Amino acid sequence: MTLRTMLTSALIASVTLTSIYAEDLKGRGASFPGPVYKAWTSDYYKATKNQVNYTPTGSGDGIKSIKKRMVDFSGSDKPLKPEALKKDKLFMFPSVVGSIVLAYNIDGIKDGELKLSREAVAGIFSGKISHWDNKAITAQNAGLKLPHAPITVAVRADKSGTTFNFTYFLNKIDPSIKVSKKPKWSVDKVVAGKSNSGVSANIKQIKNSIGYIEYSYKLKLGLPAAQVENKEGKYINPTLKSFQDAAKYATWTPENDFYAVIGDPAGATSYPIVAATFILLPEEKMQTNKAVTKFIDWAYTNGDAAATELGYVPLPKETKEQIRKYWDAKKIK
């Protein structure tokens, strides 16, 4: 074989490999949408043979990773304001809507039996309520046998968009609780876990505990979750229907890169702790961005059933069309 033939063969092999791996994408960040992204990437590979890898490391890590250009895309449950996106040269758009539930581990208390008022939720997570038989809890749970036992509060150890959205809800009830991805919790007994899966595992293992997790993790582990009082004074079970009712109140505009926080929506039938999750892209990686939006566009078209099965709320058709126009305007489609 001549040198020219060898070089030609090597070039052909290189082009072939490039074409095979051109759409192998790497993403990381928010654990909130982890289950649905896992379903979407698996189904996308089966349909197209294009590989997308997503690691649910938490929103804080996702934001840091995309700022440092360590990944092709990242996920964040905390939306970034337009000025922050401009500073770091990022694009942003929502992918799906989910919910945060208050899962608990109390002997004899089944799924949906525990009712938590807004006062009780804020009291538990501010440290003002330390035992399960506190009057603020028993007042709405006369038929339940709540123990005189200290409450273990399960929270996130990492910077988390789930925490951001949960503290956004808490702040609406008690302004002394600051909105944060990683707050300092003023509670007597607290246990921290990394990602939604870590918090879920702690709740499952620790008696008399309660914590905030994304709904699909509750489903996966079979954890009981509380009815939560919404801003209309109604106690709402976490269900797909109550999440859909809440998601109707989301307001999106392409002009501000779809920045929106849905937490504590109006509506008598709305579940009160819902959140959108977002995709972040670097402005300069146009070709890679087109591969990412191709995957998300596929998920918008083909992934609603998987999202619904896992307890997420797919974006409305009108919002998806707004996002596609945003991609066109940014030349990333």
Axis crossing angle, helix 286-302 with helix 317-330, rounded to the nearest 10? 170
Q: What is the model's pLDDT at position 4?
A: 47
Task: Quote the pLDDT of residue 278.
Answer: 97
Mean pLDDT value across residues 233-242? 96
Rounded CA-CA distance 92/102 in Å is 28
251 CB-contact burial (10 Å; exposed 0-12 / middle 13-18 / buried 19+):
exposed
Residue carrying the six token digits 């409450």: 151
47-84 pLDDT tens trace:
999 999 999 999 999 999 999 999 999 999 999 999 99
- According to the model, what pLDDT value does residue 23 have? 56
Q: Where do the domains of the chain lie, and which CATH numbers do they carry? A: 23-98+249-261+268-330 (3.40.190.10), 100-247 (3.40.190.10)
> pLDDT tens digit string along 2-12?
544 444 444 44
pLDDT band at 99 (very low <50, low <70, confident <90, very high): very high
Tokens in use for 175?
């302004």
Q: What is the mean pLDDT of residues 268-274?
A: 97
- Residue whose tokens read 């307001």: 251
SS3 assignment, position 198: helix
- Closest of 243, 321, 304, 273 to residue 102, by C-alpha: 273
**pTM for the whole thing?**
0.86
